[in-house]
Amino acid sequence: MNSVAKKLSVQALLRCPRCKSRIEAVEEGAPGRAFVCKDPNCELSQAGFPALDGVPLLVDFDNSVLSREEVQLTAGSSYKDRSMGFLQKVHGFFWRSDSPTASNADRFIAEVKRLDARPTILIIGGGAIGSDADALYRDPDLTLIGTDVYKSDLTVIIADGHQLPLASGAVHGVWIQAVLEHVLTPEQVVAEIYRVLVPDGVVYAETPFMQQVHEGAYDFTRFTLSGHRWLFRHFEEIDGGITRGPAIVMLWSIRYFVGSLFGSYKIGTMAATGLFWLRYFERLSKRAHAADGASAVYFLGRRSARTLKPKDIIAYYKGAQQ
Q: Where are the domains of the chain?
A: 3-73, 86-316
Alpha helices by DSSP H, the chain = 3-11, 44-47, 68-73, 86-95, 101-113, 134-138, 186-196, 225-231, 246-262, 265-273, 287-292, 310-316
pLDDT at 3 over 80: no
In angstroms, the Cα distances linking 212 to 208, 215, 222, 252, 282 are 9, 9, 9, 7, 19
Q: Position 163: which residue type? A: Q
pLDDT at 315 over 90: yes
pLDDT bracket for residue 5 (50, 70, 90): low
The CATH class, in words, for 86-316 is alpha beta
Region of 132 (left: φ > 0; alpha: ψ -120 to 50; beta: rest) is left
Please measure the distance between the N-terminal and C-terminal CA atoms of the chain and give it in whole angstroms: 52
Question: How far is Cα 229 from Cα 224, in angstroms, rounded to an integer?
Answer: 9
pLDDT of 8? 64
User: What average pLDDT does the segment 19-25 reach?
Assistant: 94
Biggest CA pair distance of the chain = 64
User: What average pLDDT does the segment 261-276 reach?
Assistant: 93
In sequence order, the 6+-apart residues with CB closer than 8 A to the CB of 160 are: 17, 59, 60, 63, 64, 65, 66, 149
User: What average pLDDT does the segment 11-24 reach?
Assistant: 95
DSSP letter at 22? B
User: What average pLDDT does the segment 147-172 reach?
Assistant: 97
User: What average pLDDT does the segment 155-183 reach?
Assistant: 98
Instruction: Say whether 226 sits in a helix, a strand or coil.
Output: helix
172 versus 85: the higher-pLDDT residue is 172
Determine contact, residues 44/18, Cβ cutoff 8 Å: yes
pLDDT of 2? 53
Question: How far is Cα 255 from Cα 266, in angstroms, rounded to an integer?
Answer: 9
pLDDT bracket for residue 1 (50, 70, 90): low
pLDDT at 32 over 80: no
Kindly provide the b/e burial profile for residues 54-87, where b requires at least 16 CB atoms within 10 angstroms of the residue's own CB: ebbbbbbbeebebebeebeeeebeeeeeeeeeee
Please count the residues of the chain. Answer: 322
Question: How far is Cα 87 from Cα 61, in angstroms, rounded to an integer?
Answer: 35
Question: How far is Cα 260 from Cα 258, in angstroms, rounded to an integer?
Answer: 5
Cβ neighbours of 288 (radius 10 Å): 13
pLDDT at 31 over 70: no
What does R_g of the chain's alpha carbons equal in angstroms?
Answer: 20
Question: How far is Cα 112 from Cα 13, in angstroms, rounded to an integer?
Answer: 18
Question: How far is Cα 126 from Cα 84, in angstroms, rounded to an integer?
Answer: 16
74-119 pLDDT tens trace? 999 998 877 767 767 776 777 777 789 999 999 999 999 999 999 9
Side-chain-side CA neighbours of residue 126 (13 Å): 22
34 versus 97: the higher-pLDDT residue is 34
pLDDT of 172? 98
For the chain, what is the mean pLDDT? 92
